[in-house]
Structure 1
Amino acid sequence: MENYQTVSEALAGLKTRGFNLDFNLANGVLHSSSENINLQPEDFTITELYRFEGMSDPGDNSVVYGIESEKYHVKGVFVNGYGVYSDDISEELLKKLNTPG
Structure 2
Amino acid sequence: MNNQYSTLSEAIEALKKEGYTTNFRVNDNGLLEANSEKTFGASEVKLAEFHRFEGMTDPGDSTILYALETSSGLKGTLADSYGADASELISEFMKKVERKNQIN
TM-score by length of 1: 0.79
Tell me the distance in 2 between the aligned counterparts of 1:44 and 1:59: 29
How many residues end up aligned between the 2 structures?
96
Number of the residue aligned with 2:31: 29
- Give the C-alpha shift of residue 85 in structure 1: 1.1
State whether residues 49 and 100 of structure 1, in contact with CA within 8 Å, keep that contact through their aligned partners in structure 2: no
Question: What is the letter of the counterpart of residue 4 of structure 1?
Answer: Y
Report the equivalent of 2:40.
Answer: 39
Query: Retained in 1: the 8 A contact 2:47–2:66?
Result: yes
Contact 1:47 1:68 in 2 (8 A): yes
- CA displacement 1:20-75 (0-9 Å, x = unmatched): 10001212111111x73212110100001101112432452000000011x21111
Unaligned runs of 5+ in 2: none
Q: Which residues of 2 match residues 1-101 of structure 1 at below 5 A?
A: 1=1, 3-27=4-28, 28-33=30-35, 36-69=37-70, 71-83=71-83, 84-86=86-88, 89=89, 93-96=93-96
What is the alpha-carbon distance in structure 2 between the residues aligned to residue 79 and residue 29 of structure 1? 15
Unaligned runs of 5+ in 1: none
SS of the equivalent of 2:75 reads strand
- CA-atom RMSD, angstroms? 2.5
Moved more, 49-58 or 6-15: 49-58
Describe the SS at the equivalent of 1:14: helix
